[in-house]
Homo-oligomer: A and B are copies of this chain.
Amino acid sequence: MSINFQREAPCPIAQLLELLGDRWSLLIIRDAFYGVRRFDGFQQHLGISKKVLTMRLTTLVDAEIMKKERYQSKPERYEYRLTAKGRELFPVLLTMMRWGNRWLVDEGEETVQLLHSNCGEKTEPRMVCSHCEQPITPARIQAVPGPGANREVVQAFRQIVRKSEVKKES
């Protein structure tokens, strides 16, 4: 029902959230970036229940965000590692970290910071255009229907645009 912009719809953000939009998945991936690899490690660092951890890891493996690899065979034991698809979630976590540090943590009270080994300095990631390399801001970015947009999506876009214009006038 409703215009085709919701969760099971083709919006890439909605699709990502469909997969990872619970309270644990992105924390598991964060820990994986920190180097955690084993069931027990995730469980202890996160304080997540085993049942939910099993479910989340299964989902992540099925989605090919993580892969399960045997690291010993006498008793078979596996570890979970990020795939390329998983590693590319790095920018998502970085922008989240930046926003959290900026708005949820008092200044000077940050518990985590980022060091860029290129320049050796503390860094705050910035977004730039892949084309002109200029900064990206909401005002200078426009979302437009892509090649896979069907009539419904275009329609939804029009409606949203029209509505937001109406609001501006009043």
Query: Taking beta carbons and an 8 Å cutoff, which residues of A are in contact with B?
Result: 1-3, 5-7, 10-19, 21-23, 26-27, 30-31, 33-37, 41, 44-48, 71, 79, 85, 87-106, 108-119, 121-132, 134, 136-138, 140-150, 153, 156, 160-161, 163-165, 167, 170
- Residues from chain B with a CB closer than 8 A to the CB of A115 are 141-144
The distance from the CB of A169 to the nearest CB of chain B, in whole angstroms, is 11
Measured in the bound complex, the distance between the Cα atoms of B116 and A127 in whole Å is 12
A to B CB contacts below 8 Å, 8 in the list:
A6-B48, A37-B163, A91-B98, A92-B99, A110-B149, A112-B146, A114-B141, A122-B131
A157 vs B170: C-alpha distance when bound (angstroms): 52
* Chain B residues with CB under 8 A of A131: 116, 119, 121-123
Docked complex Cα distance between A165 and B35 (Å): 8
> Cβ of A136: which chain B residues have Cβ within 8 Å of it?
91, 94, 116, 123, 125
Copies of this chain, complex-wide, total 2
Residues in B neighbouring A94, C-beta threshold 8 A: 95, 127, 136, 141
With A94-B127, A111-B153, A121-B129 in contact, do A17 and B13 touch (Cβ < 8 Å)?
A: no
Question: Which residues of B sit under 8 angstroms from A102, Cβ to Cβ?
Answer: 88
